[in-house]
Amino acid sequence: MLRLLIHGGFFSESDQTHEVKVAKQNSLKEIAKKSFEFLKSHSAEETVVFAVSLLEDDPLFNAGIGSQIQSDGKIRMSASLMNGENQKFSGVINIENVKNPIEVAKVLMKEDDRVLGGDGAKVYATENGFQDFSTEIPQRRKEYEEKLKNGGKGTVGCVALDKDGKLAAATSTGGKGFEIVGRISDSATVAGNYANSFCAVSCTGVGEDIVSNATATKIVTRVTDGMSIENSFEKTFSELKEIDGFAGAIGVDRNGNVFHQDSHPKMVFASFDGERMEVFE
């Protein structure tokens, strides 16, 4: 029973064109298909890294190439990975000049110190063979120069259930754009990316809201305690609503049940099980 879901942030009809919407739908479908094929012969952990790296490489999304620019004109990215079987979590926070932050997080899985930030994360990446790479694209610079009139929240992520029944989650972001230097998002925390042997969840949206609500952790904990994945999402998002939170999440449980929910339309997502493709509309 293989399951795979991916997300790419949010889509706004008011500031993004129909052409962009179609491009994102097509990209998500292609990445979901490639990642599902990869999942057939790889673990959940390997697959979520593979899928998120493809999302990072696509400038349509706000992670890796195409990341938002912070208030000082620099790009800093965050990404994390969690293996549901062994409950190991690894991540990088505010790393600069690497192509795929999620790949650095993957390498960190072998370390005792598995979450690194800023300069330390960059030094570690360099020592482990990651070359300098600028992830800036002209559109992001234009948005920055206009103080991000068009804004947007476009974290990417993936959750997967592999053939051995193991779960994993991975999440990557280029931030919200024009933020205070040093700001930390939810993406490299267990609020935004969490998995155990019962459930895996990846979030997108406003990091501060997701952290305040402990969104991913709450959903997974509730599934672990016996609540259905649907009810776990609905309960957690009802609590998010109490703080007027902005978030979306994708999840899969160990029985192959998948669910996704957002507090504001439309979360950009795709789900594929080898036969049925579901993509945001």
pLDDT exceeds 50 at position 93: yes
The count of structural domains within the chain is 1
With contact defined as beta carbons under 8 Å apart, do 267 and 248 qualify?
yes
pLDDT exceeds 50 at position 272: yes
Q: Which sequence positions are flagged as catalytic?
A: 155
Q: How confident is the model at residue 55 (pLDDT cuts 50, 70, 90)?
A: very high
Q: Look up the CATH number of the domain holding residue 76.
A: 3.60.20.30
Sorted by sequence, the CB contacts under 8 Å of residue 99 that are 6+ apart come out as 56, 57, 64, 65, 130, 131, 133, 135
pLDDT exceeds 60 at position 109: yes
Range of the domain at 241: 3-279
pLDDT at 105 (0 to 100): 98
By C-alpha distance, which of 123, 94, 97 is closest to 181?
94
Give the Cα separation of 56 and 156 in Å (integer).
8
pLDDT at 147 (0 to 100): 54
Q: Which helix (H) or strand (E) holds 94?
A: strand 88-95
Alpha helices in the chain (DSSP H): 18-39, 44-56, 101-108, 118-127, 138-145, 207-213, 215-224, 229-242
pLDDT exceeds 70 at position 276: yes
Residue reference for tokens 């593979």: 50
Phi/psi of residue 15, nearest 5 degrees: -130, 10
pTM, whole model, 2 decimals? 0.94
